[in-house]
Amino acid sequence: MHSWLKDKRLVAFDLDGTLIDSVPDLTVAVQKALKDQDLTPPEEAHVRDWVGNGAPILMQRALTWALNEAPSKEVQARSYQGFLAHYAEAPNRLTRLYPGASEVLSTLKEAGLILVLVTNKPKCFIAPILEHFGLAAYFDLCLGGDSLARKKPDPLPLLHAAKRFGVPARACAMVGDSRHDIEAGKAAGFTTFALPYGYNHGEPIGDSHPDMLLDTLSDLLCSTTGKA
């Protein structure tokens, strides 16, 4: 086990932008939801900058962009339900697993670590995606953005996971791609590992000052890379 993880008993992973690139499928669902409202659909590049705070905020940002003003509660609710329906139709058609994801999860699981998925994605989408990519068996607990009263960047999901398995925060790590992951991890007292290739609203993830900045997921298992 790498020295960075040798004293860890629990590792929490974000999903979108960390283990999978889901933006292409999210984009299709957002585009269809806006078209249903006779609104101009956004490009994938827009959606890539909007994800990270959960589906309701994603749709709020998309609607604000299309309307050039904040949407009404009625439009927000109707569009959000449309997004959920369209995304549920094909959550895996264009989504891709990031290189090294399966190998890293398998290695950590075999080493006896508790693996937890902490995402702001609605919980109903987690199982279909994990099963599609053969990742479901690796996780001891999966928390979505609607699983608890608060989601990332609030530390509640991480604190909940640590308490659930009786692991002190100092023996836990958070692996993610956005400032929300790092903020939540720091607030929970977890060691934070950041990946630079995901979704962070166009900001360098290093600006969030994670404990370790990795180039790839595989660097979690490598003894020669990683930058503070």
pLDDT at 72 over 70: yes
Residue 90 has pLDDT above 60, yes or no: yes
Residue 161 near residue 188, CB atoms below 8 Å:
no
Write the burial class of residue 31 (CB in 10 Å: 0-12 exposed, 13-18 middle, 19+ buried).
buried
pLDDT at 198 over 70: yes
Q: Residues 7, 14, 140, 219: which is the catalytic one?
A: 14
Q: How far apart are CA 76 and CA 56, in angstroms?
A: 8
Per-residue pLDDT of 97-150, as tens digits, reads: 999 999 999 999 999 999 999 999 999 999 999 999 999 999 999 999 999 999
| Cα–Cα dist 24/210, whole Å | 27
- The structural domains of the chain, ordered by start, are 10-22+95-221 (3.40.50.1000), 23-89 (1.10.150.240)
Q: pTM (2 decimals)?
A: 0.91
Tell me which DSSP letter residue 184 carries: H
The DSSP letter of residue 158 is H
Q: Residue 104 and residue 93: Cα distance in Å, rounded?
A: 23
Residue 156, H or E segment? helix 156-165
**One-letter amino acid of 121:** K
Closest CA to 129 of 104, 84, 95: 95
Pair 181, 14: CB distance under 8 Å: yes
225 pLDDT tier (thresholds 50, 70, 90)? very low
Q: Check pLDDT > 90 for residue 2.
A: no
pLDDT over 70 (residue 3): no
Rounded to 5 degrees, φ, ψ at 131 are -70, -40
Read off the amino acid at residue 29: A
CB half-sphere exposure, 163, CA atoms < 13 A = 7
pLDDT at 52: 79
Tell which residue, 108, 119, 98, has the closest CA to residue 184.
119
Is 14 among the residues known to form the active site?
A: yes
| Per-residue pLDDT at 227 exceeds 90 | no
